[in-house]
Every structure is written in structure tokens, then in C-alpha cells.
């Protein structure tokens, strides 16, 4: 069995991404909402029709594509038409996933700009557009990685399938698949751990009353209402497309 | 007096940057040292002779230059020859500094790659070169901002000059200037606060024994031995070049 799919490794990656996501949200929350950052075309033709946030994200992806970021199966770009890598293939770790083109980044970007930024940032405009946009790129990339990691979670579960998952896979029924991959106890463990981390990491910031920061409850709600459900959506989409013939291939 | 120079505002920026720096160091420390990331030319001609870290930093600076990052007096690029901004001037906050070209980023980059990375990262190579390099960019930009903020600290002190600073400014003597700007009690406050924050922010990570992280003592040592001294070096360099005729201009 590929190391990348050991349940322990998948869990470890997901747990470590909690720090990255919480740090990124705290960094963004030091600035106000800054609505102009998300308005396409507001800064004229120079940004090729994109918003400032979109421009910074796309240029970042163009650079990272050149050094092979998106040849890794756990990375998903927000933009199409990125440059081909200028580095030779790494010949690194084998890709344990079945071939797929699942990419829900358009949904993640809309969610982030329209829902999450207003949740984490105090209303208003501090004109720190560039700084806010740079933080947005970090948030979007971290959220995308965590949510699409559902592919690895799903493949790992499929290879260790229990009876309920075996039946759901055979029927390719999204509701049965969703029920079979759902473990409320594990979800609660994640939420408890995120709440503890968010409380810890925002503690010092809150003592410094002059900088806005994000409440731990908001971070936990983002996990509960968006990150975990979208991760499960990715799992179901992946499993619906997974060939049954692979079922016995784990070792 | 410009809002940017109120001592309270300068202190606030420096305190908030502590979170950014500590988060960035923790993010980098999840990966091993990965020496190849810093070897110029190792990845061939594609990176135009740069190391992977240098390439990611330069491309990031090219993008940020386009959206005016380096027209802000508290931002300093690592690379020369960046593109001109594609956005019109912001007409934002007035620059309270005297004109200067002080930029010690070459020293900061060498310090970071040769000294700080080995301090914060466990030895070895996990082949996560791209991820490590992306973290490096965040660390370098945060360190540069904190260290060069010495210009604002210095200008603020110059406008509220006490007797010792007045004499040192008149003589333009670097040793007298260093003595006049040094406040050991304030430095100890910074170190105590950084130690408390670093302990808090690394606490959860340390419970997760499978991910390497950075010790709070190392973060405090980086502040004590590098960040604070280099910030003071910038203060002295700035004050040595500052015209005396400005001394009475604060109001």
C-alpha cells in the first residue's frame, strides 16, 4: 500500500494543514474586509479583467506551475492555461489516486470571497489591498489543499472498504456513499481539535486590542460548515468515478 | 506628526509582525532543511541561475512590484530590476521618512539561508522543495519588513530626540547613535513577549510528534541575536544619513 494512503499519514497531513489554515485566516483577519480587492476590473485593464485577489493568485500559480506544483496529485490550480513546468519531472512519489479531473476551486473561491472573508474580517476598508490580497492567496491555497485532500481520504477508505462502503461503491449512489464515508465521531474530534488550536493561536492576538483578529468560534464554524462538508463532497465525487476493479488492489 | 510615526503605531506594527514571523518560521519548520533549495543553478538554466528559493522569491517580487508593493516605504525588494507598477500611484499615506536607499536584504537572505534555516529546520531532505521554498519566501519577506521597520523607529525617535540622541545625531557617530537608540529594558520586553507567543503557537504542534517544529527558544534566539540587532543597524544607518535640519519638524 502506498505510504501516501496509510490512514495515519492521511490523518497527519490533515492535522498539520490545520495550522496552515488557522495561521492563514489569522493573517488575513488583521486587515479589514476591503471589498475592492475582490472586484473584477476595478483596477482597470492592467490586471487583465481580474480582481486584485485574482491577479495575485493567478500570477502566483503561473510561477508555481513552472516549478511543478500542479503535477503533484494533492495540488489543484484555480486557473486554467498555466505554463508548463520548466523543471524536469521529479520522478518522486507514485500517484496513488485513480485518474480524475475533480477540481472544485471555482466553488472554493466564491465561498471564500463572498462568505469566509466577511466571516473572518471586520467590516470596512483600511486600504491595505495588496497585503490583504497576498493573505488571500495563502488562504485560498490552504483551503483548496485541505478540501481536495478528500481524494486521498476516499482512496484510502476505498481500499479498506467496509460493508456499507462496498455496497455504496457498487451502486455508485451519492447518498449511500456520503453515508458510508461519514463518521460523526471523527468529525467531532476534528472540530474539538480545531477549536483548541484556534483558541490557542488567537489568544495573544486578542490581548492586543488594536489589531482585529478572528474569533476561534468562527474558525471552528468554517471547518464545520464548509471545510469538512466540501472535503466530503470531493470524497463522494471521487468514489463515484472510481473503477470497481481496483477494489482488491490494496496490499 | 504623521500617524505612521506615532510611537504607539510603530510599536503596534512591530508587535503584530511577531505573529507573522513566528507563523512563517513554524510553517517552514514542518519541512526538513532541504539544502538543494538554496543551491544556485542546481535546477539548471531554467531558473536563470537562481536557486529554487531565489527563483520563487524573484517571481513573487515581480508580481508584487506590478501592484505597487515596493512603492511603499516599509517594503524593500530583494531583487533589482523589478517591473514598474501596472497600477496607477495610490496617492495613499504620505512617506514620513527622509529619502534613503538603505536595503540590507542581501545580508538578510544570506543570514536566513545559511544560519536561520539550519536553526529552525531539522537536518535532512524530505524532497518537499517547492513547499519549503514557498515558506522561505514568506519568512524572508516578513524578516525584511521587520528589520527595515527600523527606519520608522529611527525617524520616530529622531523627532522626539532626547539629549543623548541629539548629541549623537550632531556628531553622526555610529557608536554614539547605537548607544542612544538602545533601550535594554524594551528589548527584554520584546524577547519576553516573543518567547510567550512562540511557546503558545508551537504548543499544539509539539503534541503532534510526527511533524518537526521549531523550539520557542530558537525563535527567541533569532529575535535576540539577529532581528533586534539588524533592526538597530538599520536605525543607525538611517540616522547617520538624516539631515539635521529636520530635527524640529515634528508637531
At B63, the pLDDT band (50, 70, 90 cuts) reads very high
Q: What is the rounded (10 degree) CA torsion for A90, A56, A78, A15?
A: 70
* Residue B184, CA distances (Å) to B146, B173, B188 in order: 18, 20, 6
Contact partners, residue A97, CB within 8 Å, separation at least 6:
A73, A151, A152, A155, A238
At B152, the pLDDT band (50, 70, 90 cuts) reads very high
At A238, the pLDDT band (50, 70, 90 cuts) reads very high
Share of chain A above pLDDT 70, in %: 92
Give the mean model confidence (pLDDT) for residues B184-202. Answer: 94
At A67, the pLDDT band (50, 70, 90 cuts) reads very high
Query: How many C-beta atoms lie closer than 10 Å to residue B130's C-beta?
Result: 20
Q: Which residue among A23, A43, A92 sits closest to B87, beta carbon to beta carbon?
A: A43
Q: Mind spelling out the 3-state secondary structure of A83-119? A: CCCCCCCCCCCCCCCCCCCCCCHHHHHHHHHHHHHHH
Q: Is the pLDDT of residue B120 over 90?
A: yes
Of the candidates B29, B28, B32, the residue with the CA atom closest to the CA atom of residue B126: B32
* Confidence (pLDDT) at A249: 47
Q: Is the pLDDT of residue B206 over 60?
A: no
pTM: 0.94
Closest A-chain CA to B85: A46
More confident residue, A19 or A249: A19
The answer to whether B24 and B142 are in contact (CB under 8 A) is yes
Helices B150-159/B163-171 angle, 10° precision: 110
A contacts of B138 (beta carbons < 8 Å) = 138
Share of chain B above pLDDT 70, in %: 92
Task: Give CA A94 to chain center in angstroms.
Answer: 22
* Confidence (pLDDT) at B251: 35
At B78, the pLDDT band (50, 70, 90 cuts) reads very high
Give the mean model confidence (pLDDT) for residues A23-48. Answer: 93
Q: Which residue among A19, A63, A208 sits closest to B205, beta carbon to beta carbon?
A: A19
Q: Is the pLDDT of residue A250 over 70?
A: no
* Confidence (pLDDT) at B213: 85
A contacts of B197 (beta carbons < 8 Å) = 204
Rounded CA-CA distance A76/B187 in Å is: 44
Query: How many C-beta atoms lie closer than 10 Å to residue A20's C-beta?
Result: 21
Contact partners, residue B77, CB within 8 Å, separation at least 6:
B61, B65, B69, B70, B103, B105
Q: What are phi and psi of B62, to 5 degrees?
A: -60, -45
Buried b (16+ CB within 10 A) or exposed e, A42-61: ebeeebeebbbbbbbbbbbb
8 Å CB contact of A205 and B69: no
Mutation target vs B (from A18, A34, A60, A209; most B CBs, 10 A cutoff): A60
Q: Which residue among B15, B66, B68 sits closest to A208, beta carbon to beta carbon?
A: B15
Give the mean model confidence (pLDDT) for residues B97-110. Answer: 97
Q: Which helix (H) or strand (E) holds B24?
A: helix B7-29
* Confidence (pLDDT) at A211: 75
Encode pLDDT of A151-168 as tens digits: 999 999 999 878 899 999
Give B218 to chain A, closest Cα distance, Å: 19
8 Å CB contact of B67 and A55: yes
Encode pLDDT of B214-248 as tens digits: 999 999 999 999 999 999 999 999 999 998 766 54
At B209, the pLDDT band (50, 70, 90 cuts) reads low
Question: Which own/partner contact pairs does A59-68 have at CB distance under 8 Å and 24+ positions apart?
Answer: A59/B63, A59/B66, A60/A137, A60/A141, A60/B60, A60/B63, A63/B56, A63/B59, A63/B60, A63/B63, A64/B56, A64/B130, A64/B134, A66/B46, A66/B59, A67/B52, A67/B55, A67/B56, A67/B130, A67/B133, A68/B130
Rounded CA-CA distance B157/B107 in Å is: 25
Nine-digit cell at B50? 537562481
Tell me if residue B193 falls in helix, strand or coil.
Answer: helix
Based on its alpha-carbon atoms, the radius of gyration of chain A, rounded to whole angstroms, reads 19
Q: Hey, which bits of chain B come out as E strands?
A: none
Q: Is the pLDDT of residue B203 over 90?
A: no
* Confidence (pLDDT) at A8: 81
* Confidence (pLDDT) at B189: 95
DSSP string, B163-184: HHHHHHHHHT-HHHHHHHH--H
Closest B-chain CA to A212: B16
End-to-end Cα separation, chain A, in angstroms: 5
Amino acid at each position: 500500500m502506498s505510504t501516501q494512503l496509510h490512514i495515519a499519514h492521511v490523518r497527519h497531513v490533515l492535522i498539520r494543514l490545520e495550522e496552515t489554515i488557522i495561521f492563514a485566516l489569522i493573517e488575513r483577519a488583521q486587515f479589514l474586509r476591503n471589498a475592492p480587492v475582490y472586484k473584477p476590473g476595478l483596477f482597470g485593464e492592467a490586471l487583465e479583467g481580474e480582481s486584485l485577489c485574482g491577479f495575485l493568485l493567478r500570477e502566483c500559480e503561473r510561477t508555481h506551475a513552472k516549478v511543478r506544483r500542479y503535477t503533484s496529485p494533492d495540488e489543484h490550480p484555480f486557473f486554467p492555461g498555466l505554463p508548463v513546468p520548466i523543471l524536469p519531472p521529479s520522478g518522486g512519489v507514485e500517484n496513488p489516486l485513480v485518474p480524475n479531473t475533480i477540481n472544485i476551486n471555482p466553488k472554493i473561491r466564491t465561498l471564500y470571497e463572498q462568505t469566509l472573508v466577511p466571516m473572518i474580517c471586520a467590516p470596512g476598508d483600511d486600504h491595505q489591498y495588496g497585503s490583504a490580497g497576498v493573505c488571500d492567496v495563502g488562504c485560498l491555497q490552504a483551503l483548496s489543499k485541505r478540501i481536495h485532500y478528500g481524494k486521498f481520504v476516499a482512496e484510502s477508505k476505498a481500499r479498506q472498504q467496509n460493508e456499507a462502503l462496498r455496497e455504496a461503491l457498487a451502486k455508485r449512489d451519492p447518498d449511500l456513499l456520503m453515508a458510508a464515508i461519514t463518521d460523526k465521531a471523527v468529525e467531532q474530534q476534528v472540530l474539538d481539535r480545531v477549536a483548541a488550536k484556534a483558541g490557542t493561536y488567537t489568544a495573544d492576538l486578542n490581548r492586543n486590542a488594536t489589531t482585529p483578529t478572528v474569533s476561534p468560534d468562527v474558525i471552528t464554524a468554517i471547518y464545520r460548515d464548509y471545510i469538512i462538508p466540501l472535503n466530503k463532497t470531493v470524497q463522494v465525487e471521487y468514489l463515484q468515478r472510481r473503477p470497481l476493479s481496483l477494489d482488491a488492489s490494496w496490499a
